[in-house]
Amino acid sequence: MKPAPFAYRRPRTLDEAVAALAGTPGAKVLAGGQSLVPLLSMRLAAPAALVDINALPDLDQVRCDEEGVRIGALARHADVLASADVRRVQPLVALALEHVAHPTIRNRGTTVGSLVHADAAAEMPMVLRLLGGSVDVVGPSGRRTVAADDLFVGPLESSVASDEIAVEAFFPALRAGVGVAFREIARRHGDYALVGVAALVDGESVRVGYLSVADLPTVVDLSGVPEGELGERALERLDPADDIHASADYRAHLVRVLTAQVVASARELAA
Amino acid sequence: MSATEPEERHDVVLHVNGAPHAVRVPARRLLSDALRHDCGLTGTHVGCEHGVCGACTVLVDGRPVRSCLMLAVSAQDVQITTVEGLTEDDGTPQGKLGPVQQAFADCHGLQCGFCTPGFLTTITAGLRDNPDPTFEEARDMIAGNLCRCTGYQNIVASVLRAAELARSPVVEEVAQQPSRDPGGNA
């Protein structure tokens, strides 16, 4: 239960961090570490080096404007959740963050880190995808924006290259007349969700995001689907699995129930 | 890094309970281990060592954080408070129990005591954010910490009692029997 040895760099500027990452083969970026450190301790990951970005300036900012919410790579979940501006500009970000782990984990864990960790059982990757957000990354060849649909490529695998650092996430604002809702079921509040579902209703368009019931954070278009068939139709695109916490059948049941609930809530808010 | 190569060590100053501790640690030293082995502060307990149990919770810049999920080398620019830092100065070497510690003593909020340091730090910060929690809020405050002895009932009572003590420390002198009413006297 102790990490394997690794080299450690603590750069003071983004340029230094990019150089350190590029110059150290097998290096990984350390931000909040709430997913990475357990992986190190259980030796499921053994990077040759860590580039700790916690001393970089200005990355802890959370900025909101009419376009949306921009979250810096060192903004802790707790800070994003505490922001009244975030809740106003895109309520779904706050609704989902309330379910991200326990408050103690949210005090250290970062929202951007959770995105690039790309866990299909995590809330924020699914929300980024449902809202059509993006992540900005910086590497040796400069800065680029990765759309959410291109970010998640496999279980715990993002399309951020090994020499790139994710510096900012963008969640588009909630527009007038659009409704959003989020629900999840976990054994205890704060534990990993058995199933989590979010809905975005915009006029006739009904899109629903799912976590913990597929290998990737998944969004299903349910526009035009009759009320009583929403969950069933979504399950055609999902793959609920058995584990120690819940059976596949129970997860499918939760998909049916929660899909109907979140679509109804989002519809109500959109009206 | 090959097995024959000596592991690189880093000189780090950890600020714990207001005092600087200069330590020399490998990068992989968890903050929990650095506190216990390098600083000699064994009040912080190590349970699951992957962030689930909460026994190792310390305050980092005043906020509860799992010390097993932080590297000591990454903790150099922050102020750390461990359970040893929760006592209040009363002129004696050991100090006087802080309100949360006193409440645990009053309400039998611990049995084996292994998980207690994590509860004490978590509740100390929790009551600072919410000085007058309801029964439900008290339960919520400790939801991220595991205890295998008490069944949590007396810990919830301790949260409410600590809030009471923090509001009016003088109550401590007169209250022989702490309230068992889950709603508290608030």
pLDDT of residue A140: 96
- Kindly tell me if the per-residue pLDDT of A188 is higher than 90: no
CB contact under 8 A, B73 and A40: no
pLDDT of residue A146: 98
Full-model pTM: 0.92
Could you tell me the maximum CA-CA distance found in chain B, to the nearest angstrom? 64
Instruction: With H, G, I as helix, E, B as strand and everything else as coil, classify residue A26.
Output: coil
Phi, psi of B112 (to 5 degrees): -75, -25
Position with higher pLDDT, A159 vs B178: A159
∠ at Cα B48 (B45, B54), nearest 5°? 60
- Kindly tell me if the per-residue pLDDT of A2 is higher than 90: yes
**Averaged pLDDT for residues A61-76:** 98
What is the nearest CA distance from A165 to chain B, expressed in angstroms?
18
Residues of B in contact with A53 (CB under 8 A): none
Residues of A in contact with B71 (CB under 8 A): 8, 30, 33, 37, 50, 52
∠ at Cα A199 (A194, A204), nearest 5°? 150
DSSP code of A12? S
Per DSSP bridges, beta strands A134-139 and A142-147 are: antiparallel
- Kindly tell me if the per-residue pLDDT of A227 is higher than 60: yes
DSSP A71-140: EETT-BHHHHHH-HHHHHH-HHHHHHHTTSS-HHHHTT-BHHHHHHHT-TT-HHHHHHHHHT-EEEEEET
Per DSSP bridges, beta strands A27-30 and A49-52 are: parallel
pLDDT of residue B4: 66
Three-class DSSP labels, B106-146: HHCCCCCCCCHHHHHHHHHHHHHHCCCCCHHHHHHHCCCCC
* pLDDT confidence tier of residue A271, bands split at 50, 70 and 90: confident
SS percent in chain B: helix, strand, coil, step 5 = 35, 15, 45
Which residues in chain B land under pLDDT 70?
A: 1-4, 169-186
Phi, psi of A124 (to 5 degrees): -70, -35
Q: Judge if ipTM > 0.95.
A: no
What is the nearest CA distance from A121 to chain B, expressed in angstroms?
16
pLDDT of residue B184: 42
